[in-house]
Chains A and B, each alone.
Chain A
Amino acid sequence: MSDEIEYTGICKTCSHAPTCAYRKRSDKPIWYCEEFDNYIPAPKKSTSSGLISILEDIQARYGYLPEGSLRVVAEKTNRSLVDIYGVATFYRAFSLKPRGKHLISVCLGTACHVRGAPAIAEEFQQQLGIRAGETTSDKEFTLETVNCLGACALGPIVVADGHYFSSVKASMVNSIIEKTLAGLDKVEIKTDQRVFPVEVSCSRCNHSLMDTRHLIDGYPSIRVTVSFNHKHGWLALSSLYGSDNVDSEYPIPLDTIVNFFCPHCHTELIGSSDCAECGAPMIPMIVRGGGVVQICSRRGCKGHMLDLSGTIID
């Protein structure tokens, strides 16, 4: 995308928005902000591509494509609205209607179909009181049917908020709905094998960052100093790899990018890489026993990286 579109410059609106992760990155600017919708750089050629990724950004942010946003995109990219509407209605991944908080997709592909997927879809329709493609009136669930998810051997497949349920029977529908409503992203810290404690130290002074007096999830926490929005205070992170529980002196608003400091040598913990999820700078810390763990500096972003053979490159 960046090869074809010549941006007119780094986003000006982002200098007013300290939360913007892309403010340092001219190659990956945001395309549409609700607050600052003036910034979608005009491509030089009207034929240049990139429309789908713009629409994907909007869809990721709002869950659907609002009519107003399509008009803004049309204006900013020098395309006619009808072209953009055509693309938006062509792909099933895009929705023009507001969708619920939770998305449930029932696979009706051939393999799932012969294993009884239509009955599953029917059961979901009954229990949610909506038909496929609709959203419940409380905006909690959107039900859709898809034609294949590529996991035919596990059929019938149901995907709820990105979590796959395999060999679904009609009797499991109720529990899937309940689990989805409770939140599927919650990790069972006690039983999940992917969660384990790590001990880390500062990448500069190698002083341990572990705080044995402050426990989070039952383990010693990782204590660092943070600064954001002219506030400075302590922050305690769970030392469990996989848990994202934190305590902090000041509440940190979501999406804020926080600067991390070592409480011992007071140097800023900052690495050279950026978060693959959101583009914010990554915070490197040394793992006792070898390796580097990096966490995203944005509040709410779960981007992280554990490299047990890695060293820190400045």
Chain B
Amino acid sequence: MIRLTINGLEISVEEGTTILEAAKFYGFPIPTLCYMEGLSPYGACRLCVVEIGEGPKARLVTSCTYPVEEGLKVRTASSRVIKARKMILELLLASCPQSKTIQDLAAAHNVRRQRFKQEYEDCILCGLCVRMCEEQMMAKAIGFQGRGENRSIGTPFNIKSDICRLCGGCIYICPACQLRCTYTEPEKAICGGCANLSPPCLEKEQFDDMMCYMEPCVACEIKKD
């Protein structure tokens, strides 16, 4: 057993456990996006950052990939961690503003305003679908290709894969593909409620219970373009 401290609480967990698993077991919430039980941790979204160490040696690590160490001192919600998480969320939001999953995470961290220009890449390259396809569906039909800003996910040669069984696992697990903000069609909206008290794109009389987390509204921003 390995003894460590999370937010001042001394705990002991088995060797090989990650900080994230230990924190979850003891009830410390750490937001995650690219982490999924049953899939190997990947550390792509960086949302699960925690601070380890003390004083000038303190540093941020992704808790989903960091195995516990003897005597480790972990802070899951220090001001540095919160600041970093907010920044990460703002950047994620800029590349995938329509994703309800990211919008909800952003709202939960009090990010209501989009500071960065939206890029609408519609993929945050979290690799969930790639790992789902490989590890749970045993198919390996999709994967990363390209490098740097050209990195994307797809099948080899971007043609229909003969390995793909059309299981839909990749779409099911994707935080950006399915749960989309549906803009001005509130009947289809998944969230059913927003936090922006005066959503500019909805008719207030008809949909008075509808609000948007985001300000400015994603839909209105897209309309402007």
A interface, CB within 8 angstroms of B: 67, 70, 80-86, 89-91, 96
- Known contacts: A80-B140, A82-B140. The answer to whether A70 contacts B156 by CB under 8 A is yes
Given the complex of chains A and B, what is the CA–CA distance between A70 and B155 in angstroms?
A: 13
B141 at the interface (CB under 8 A from A): yes
Given the complex of chains A and B, what is the CA–CA distance between A84 and B156 in angstroms?
A: 9
A-B contact pairs, 29 of them (CB 8 A): A67-B157, A70-B156, A80-B140, A80-B143, A80-B163, A81-B156, A81-B163, A82-B140, A82-B141, A82-B142, A82-B143, A82-B155, A82-B156, A82-B161, A84-B156, A85-B143, A85-B145, A85-B156, A85-B157, A86-B143, A86-B144, A86-B145, A89-B145, A89-B147, A90-B145, A90-B146, A90-B147, A91-B147, A96-B157
Of all chain B residues, which has the CB nearest A74? Answer: B156
B146-192 residues with Cβ-Cβ distance < 8 A to A are: 146-147, 155-157, 161, 163
In the complex, given contacts A80-B163, A82-B141, A83-B143, what are 10 additional A-B residue pairs having Cβ atoms less than 8 angstroms apart? Answer: A67-B157, A70-B156, A80-B140, A81-B163, A83-B140, A85-B143, A85-B156, A89-B145, A90-B146, A91-B147
Of all chain A residues, which has the CB nearest B148? Answer: A90
- From residue A146, how far is it (CB to closest CB) to chain B in Å? 15
- Known contacts: A80-B163, A82-B155. The answer to whether A89 contacts B146 by CB under 8 A is yes
Given the complex of chains A and B, what is the CA–CA distance between A80 and B163 in angstroms?
A: 9
Given the complex of chains A and B, what is the CA–CA distance between A81 and B134 in angstroms?
A: 12
- From residue A70, how far is it (CB to closest CB) to chain B in Å? 7
B interface, CB within 8 angstroms of A: 140-147, 155-157, 161, 163
Determine the chain A residues whose CB is within 8 A of the CB of B144 once the complex forms: 86
Given the complex of chains A and B, what is the CA–CA distance between A84 and B144 in angstroms?
A: 10
- From residue A67, how far is it (CB to closest CB) to chain B in Å? 6
Given the complex of chains A and B, what is the CA–CA distance between A91 and B140 in angstroms?
A: 21
- From residue B131, how far is it (CB to closest CB) to chain A in Å? 12
Q: Which 4 A-B pairs have the closest CB atoms?
A: A82-B143, A80-B140, A85-B156, A89-B145
Given the complex of chains A and B, what is the CA–CA distance between A90 and B147 in angstroms?
A: 5
Given the complex of chains A and B, what is the CA–CA distance between A81 and B140 in angstroms?
A: 8
Given the complex of chains A and B, what is the CA–CA distance between A67 and B140 in angstroms?
A: 18
Given the complex of chains A and B, what is the CA–CA distance between A91 and B143 in angstroms?
A: 15
- From residue A222, how far is it (CB to closest CB) to chain B in Å? 50
Of all chain B residues, which has the CB nearest A87? Answer: B145
| Most-contacted residue by chain A among B140, B142, B144, B156 (CB, 10 A) | B156
Determine the chain B residues whose CB is within 8 A of the CB of A80 once the complex forms: 140, 143, 163
Determine the chain B residues whose CB is within 8 A of the CB of A83 once the complex forms: 140, 143
Of all chain A residues, which has the CB nearest B162? Answer: A81
Given the complex of chains A and B, what is the CA–CA distance between A83 and B134 in angstroms?
A: 11
Of all chain B residues, which has the CB nearest A71? Answer: B156
Determine the chain B residues whose CB is within 8 A of the CB of A82 once the complex forms: 140-143, 155-156, 161
Of all chain A residues, which has the CB nearest B145? Answer: A89
Given the complex of chains A and B, what is the CA–CA distance between A66 and B141 in angstroms?
A: 19
Given the complex of chains A and B, what is the CA–CA distance between A213 and B217 in angstroms?
A: 90
Determine the chain A residues whose CB is within 8 A of the CB of B141 once the complex forms: 82
Given the complex of chains A and B, what is the CA–CA distance between A15 and B144 in angstroms?
A: 39
- From residue A76, how far is it (CB to closest CB) to chain B in Å? 16
- From residue A248, how far is it (CB to closest CB) to chain B in Å? 45
Given the complex of chains A and B, what is the CA–CA distance between A83 and B142 in angstroms?
A: 9
Given the complex of chains A and B, what is the CA–CA distance between A123 and B110 in angstroms?
A: 52
Given the complex of chains A and B, what is the CA–CA distance between A96 and B156 in angstroms?
A: 11
| Most-contacted residue by chain B among A70, A84, A86 (CB, 10 A) | A86
Given the complex of chains A and B, what is the CA–CA distance between A162 and B28 in angstroms?
A: 59
Determine the chain B residues whose CB is within 8 A of the CB of A85 once the complex forms: 143, 145, 156-157
Of all chain A residues, which has the CB nearest B157? Answer: A67
Of all chain A residues, which has the CB nearest B152? Answer: A89
- From residue B169, how far is it (CB to closest CB) to chain A in Å? 15
- From residue B102, how far is it (CB to closest CB) to chain A in Å? 25
Determine the chain B residues whose CB is within 8 A of the CB of A70 once the complex forms: 156
Given the complex of chains A and B, what is the CA–CA distance between A149 and B145 in angstroms?
A: 25
Of all chain A residues, which has the CB nearest B144? Answer: A86
Given the complex of chains A and B, what is the CA–CA distance between A86 and B145 in angstroms?
A: 4
Given the complex of chains A and B, what is the CA–CA distance between A66 and B145 in angstroms?
A: 16
Given the complex of chains A and B, what is the CA–CA distance between A70 and B157 in angstroms?
A: 10
- From residue A38, how far is it (CB to closest CB) to chain B in Å? 21
